[in-house]
Amino acid sequence: PLIPMIHPGLPPERQIVVGICAMTKKSKSKPMTQILERLCKFEYITVVIMGEDIILNEPVENWPPCDCLISFHSKGFPLDKAVAYAKLCKPFLINDLDMQYYIQDRREVYRILQEEGIDLPRYAVLNRDPDRPEECNLVEGEDHVEVNGAVFPKPFVEKPVSAEDHNVYIYYPTSAGGGSQRLFRKIGSRSSVYSPESSVRKTGSYIYEEFMPTDGTDVKVYTVGPDYAHAEARKSPALDGKVERDSEGKEIRYPVMLTAMEKLVARKVCVAFKQTVCGFDLLRANGHSFVCDVNGFSFVKNSMKYYDDCAKILGNIIMRELAPQFHIPWSIPTEAEDIPIVPTTSGTMMELRCVIAVIRHGDRTPKQKMKMEVKHPRFFELFEKYDGYKTGKLKLKKPEQLQEVLDIARQLVVELGTHSDCEIEERKSKLEQLKSVLEMYGHFSGINRKVQLTYLPHGHPKAASEDEAWCLRVRAAVLPIKTSGDASMINNSCLIFASNIRRAGLINNVTYQYSPDGATGVAFPCS
């Protein structure tokens, strides 16, 4: 009747007995077995599984005592007896038992979610209760229903108020062919079937809610305490009713990263329903996440990482709560995380936990920046006009300021047009480049263009072998200009840059590369 799971080589100290009270199908399932095996590795924890025969047929006074109880409702489970046992023995409860009555009623689930400020689909309750006829006001139209004054156009969802009843219907408008999709617990490879019936059910109590347009997947979230949530996505049963299965016949699940808001929702659900281990369903639609169901105690399937995490968290919760009572010398371990190793056909190797990619779209050229030294008095007049001497730096972003810089560049290009001196040509090419950048797009915007002036009273530093006295007599400013990038401007800039390199005799073999998508550049050998 009792199935103890005792870790070999237990020390003689007082053990914390963790009782597992659930139907055999649940207590002997693979996830539960995997987690309990790991939980037994806590040296002060002993796990005892209560047999189904004891749970169903023995009075609670004959149930074995325990210090901590993991118990949860499923089909056929005597929840009343489990509640009575908890009152009798007063164990530490991992999942509150009284709240499990509420989880069995979708009306109560939605009420609690609403009280906690958790987003859920717009809904109305139709109670067919003879004692409360005012709560049963249903008006059905061709493409809508009105429930107690709330109108739900098709498509809408009809859910039985009992959470144990999984016969959920989705009704379609006549523009989509009418009829309904009837969901049910998975049977073989199917989880729903289409029906031509367009009328809602006329017996029983139901919740009617608006249909949430998702991307064809449901997100299943599994908490272990308020600070841990594992999430997976599965193909929605409302699509075509066919269950996606892998080569081993298991339903295919996809890993999901929860947003910060969804993690907060997971915490709220765990705390509001007082269920340390708790599963619930999320619908992601229209940029928001909505909770549509709370299932209570449920485990992730086929995830060794989850089994490790779940057992570690549960063990720490139990020890933190009960170790002081039993004077057990224990503190939460802070050891480094074990490297995840998984067996493969060719030996063992590290388990891949995630892939992180940084991706940028390719239809935009990167920000460009050019820098030039200017010595003409007009630039210094501009520098003085906007109080640049106060800090030695000046940033120009306003349209009228950029227009002044462009006017100076245009005037200087014209004045230098008659000279043939190499040094003047070098300056002219820079000014032409400055002019072409400022003329780009036909208007100025500080978002994609700005000019900065930095005052250098002694000019650029020169090498020690050069005439230092000449350097002190030169008054110069460095003018960088930045832009978000444009293919034609970059092409022009690259050509000018390449010609400058050739003229300076630095490198002869300069390659100019251009592609229609704006990926342009200058390449040269590194020898």
Between 451 and 54, name the one with better pLDDT.
54
- Residue 356 counted as domain residue: no
pLDDT of res. 464: 46
Mean pLDDT of the chain: 82
pLDDT of res. 473: 33
Q: Are residues 37 and 121 in the same domain?
A: no
Q: Where are the alpha helices (DSSP H) in 336-486?
A: 377-385, 399-415, 422-439, 468-473
- Residue 45 counted as domain residue: yes
d(CA 381, CA 388) in angstroms, rounded, equals 10
Q: Are residues 248 and 316 in the same domain?
A: no
Contact present, 16 and 68 (Cβ < 8 Å): yes
Is pLDDT above 70 for 306?
yes
Q: Are residues 453 and 324 in the same domain?
A: no
Is pLDDT above 80 for 28?
yes
The tokens for 12 are 């003689």
> Averaged over 47-57, what is the pLDDT?
95
- CA dihedral (45, 270, 263, 353) in degrees, to 10, reads 30
d(CA 6, CA 21) in angstroms, rounded, equals 17
Structural domain span for residue 159: 116-299
Q: Are residues 125 and 168 in the same domain?
A: yes
> At 319, which CATH number?
3.40.50.11950
- Residue 358 counted as domain residue: no
Is pLDDT above 70 for 137?
yes
Number of domains comprising the chain? 3
- CA dihedral (379, 380, 384, 387) in degrees, to 10, reads 70
CA 469 from chain centre, in angstroms, equals: 63
Q: Are residues 175 and 237 in the same domain?
A: yes
Q: Are residues 135 and 264 in the same domain?
A: yes
pLDDT of res. 514: 42
> What predicted TM-score, i.e. pTM, was given to this entire model?
0.62
pLDDT band at 59 (very low <50, low <70, confident <90, very high): very high
